[in-house]
Structures are given as structure tokens and as C-alpha cells.
Amino acid sequence: MAKDKKGVRLEHISKIYKDPKTGKDFYAVHDTSLDIEPGSFVTLLGPSGCGKTTTLRMIAGFESPDEGEIYLGNEAINALTPNKRDTAMVFQSYALLPHYNIFDNVAYGLKIRKVPKEEIKERVTKILELVQLSGMESRMTNQLSGGQQQRVALARALVIEPSVLLFDEPLSNLDAKLRVSMRTEIRRIQQEVGITAVYVTHDQSEAMAISDKIIIMNKGKIAQMGTPEEIYYQPNDEFVADFIGEVNFLRGKMKEARGEYAVIDVDGNDIIVKNSEKLMIGENYTAVLRPEAATLADCGGVPCRVILSCFMGSYQNYHVMVGNTLVKLEEHNPKNKKIYKVGDTCSLVFAPESVHVL
């Protein structure tokens, strides 16, 4: 459906605002460069104030960069107003026209563009089928659920056939269950249409579920860009590791090398990790261990003491102490497994390959 698959390129983009309290200038986005491939789904993820929404608004044309250039395909678009850019935005608030029915809401952009009446009818009918709202054309927007309103907003953006679709936290007004089903729908539609999508959220699980690539932002800069797997298993630093999912940090000094493995001393305990050329004896390192990568056993691992044991249905949630270090873990499908109680001493077991050393 999309006219053409175009990527988005940011070259050394910066946006400067004035702090209303201090009166001083600060960078909301600082010297940011990225290349979004045509037809890919890329999510900007990060805490409030990290620059993700400002970056999206600069791509859309609602904000102008103070430094750098934005390209859509091979076209520099800094000077273009939002309506002249080959993009469409799906907003958090839906921004539907309350006095229009579904058909007229979706057709609005086409009417402004003076598209012939018959073509409007054909394109709106086709796009409502894609978002599964066929037969509801005459309903008013105040008769719709939140999920249906979001589908109308998505249809309205898609019907003008932009090369790039922009999403500004589109699911944050929906309840948790509906958010999960709608993110699946958005991903399905994006893949079916083959459109380039740039999506902003602060929800890590949302980003993991829908993205080809995730861009983690922190203090106006890109902390890391990669596939969900790369971001999760090979974070660049503690900020990225901590932001994407639950994590344990095991801090200690490298003690010795054992062939392809290395030993890190954590509070007097030997933690075995996969060795790499960057690890040097006597240096301090932080090992990243995900809660689901470890398990408890009677022996054979790192000695620990249970300080929390909580049944969560699909998993048993444990907190254990390894020396003075707190380690959280999730024992999945605990029904036929030994359940350790608070105060028990046991062993923390994990594969060296499941640890990522920063």
C-alpha cells in the first residue's frame, strides 16, 4: 500500500531548550545520528526526559533541530512543514474528530488532499478492513472503545499512504490487556503494509515485542541501538542493562583465567564467566546476570542464603544473598521443583555463557 519504502536518517541532530527554572540552555537531544532502514520497525525507548519524544517530533516536523539534518529517503526535510513531509503520526490522545463518524475521520486527510470521491471510498474501505473495523463506518467516535479509537487513528494515518509512520506512545491510554493485543495488531499491520515505523514508548516489554531494532536513549543521547536480543543479552553499560528488564549486577575483581573461562571474585565467591580478550587479571568488572538465567540447587554452585521466596504462579520469585550481594532470580514452572524457604542455604547455579561482563 505504501507508495515507497523510505528510511529515515538523522545526522548529528541536536535540540536545545531553555530551562524555565534556571534560564540556562540545555540539550534535549545532543549530537544524535541514526539510520533507520526502509520497511523496518524501530522503537525509541528510554525514561522520561531522555529525548525520545523530541526526536520523534523533529522527524514529524513539529519541532525543528537546532543542529544537524534529517533525511527521509535521500531528501533533506528540515525546511519542510509537517504536512509537506511524507510521514503520518499516530498520537497518544488519538486526536479524533468527535463530530465525525469513523468513515469521515479516516477520510479527512484524503479530502484535504482533494482525492476524488470514488478513490476516497475505495481507500477508506480497504484500510478499515485492514484494521478490522469493516461495517462500522457510520459509528461516531464516542461510541467506540479505546482500542477501536486507536484503530481509527491508525487507519487515518495509513490511508494517506505515507512512507514513514510515526507513533507517539499510542497505547499508553489503554488498559494492560488491551495494550498487549493492540501492539500485536500494530506490528501485524506494519508488516502487512511494509511501511517504515518509528515508535516511541517507555514500556520495555512493548518495545521488545514489536521492534526490529530498539534505540535506548539516555539524557539526549543514544545509549545503544540493536535488536531486542542484542539489547537484552549484550547491553553496552549498566544503564541499558538496568533499563531493559530485571537484572543482577555482580561486581568483583578478575582472579584468574581458566582456558576459555574466567573467574571473578564476588564477595569471596568464585563466579565463572565466559572469558574474552578484554578481561584482565586484577581488574574490576561487573557481570550482568538475568533473573531467569539462574536457578537454585542444594549444591554445585555459588553458596547463597534465601531471604525471599514468593510463589508468583508461573514462577517462584527468589531473592538470595551471595556474600553481601543481593541476587534476584525466577524459577519458572515451579510446580514439581523443590521450593526453598527463607533462611535456607543453597547454591546459585548458572551457565558461564549466560553472564555478560561489562
pLDDT digits (tens, 9 = 90+) for 102-148: 999 999 888 888 888 888 888 999 889 888 888 888 888 888 888 88
| Residue 24 vs residues 30, 65, 218, 221: alpha-carbon distances, Å | 16, 18, 20, 19
Domain that holds residue 278: 246-357
pTM beyond 0.85: yes
Q: What is the pLDDT of residue 111?
A: 86
Q: What is the pLDDT of residue 3?
A: 55
Do 54 and 144 belong together in one domain? yes
Work out whether strand 67-72 and strand 269-274 pair parallel, antiparallel, or are unpaired: unpaired
Q: What is the pLDDT of residue 2?
A: 42
Dihedrals φ, ψ of 294, to 5°? -120, 160
Task: Tell me how far apart the alpha carbons of residues 225 and 143 are, in angstroms, rounded to a whole number.
Answer: 41
Q: What is the pLDDT of residue 231?
A: 95
Do 250 and 236 belong together in one domain? no
Do 218 and 265 belong together in one domain? no
Do 157 and 250 belong together in one domain? no
The answer to whether position 161 is within a domain reads yes
pLDDT digits (tens, 9 = 90+) for 4-21: 689 999 999 999 998 888
Instruction: Give the domain-ending residue among 242, 262, 294.
Output: 242
Do 223 and 269 belong together in one domain? no
Contact between 269 and 325 (Cβ < 8 Å): no
Q: What is the pLDDT of residue 141?
A: 85
The answer to whether position 297 is within a domain reads yes
In this prediction, the residues of the chain whose per-residue pLDDT falls under 50 are: 1-2
- How many domains, the chain? 2
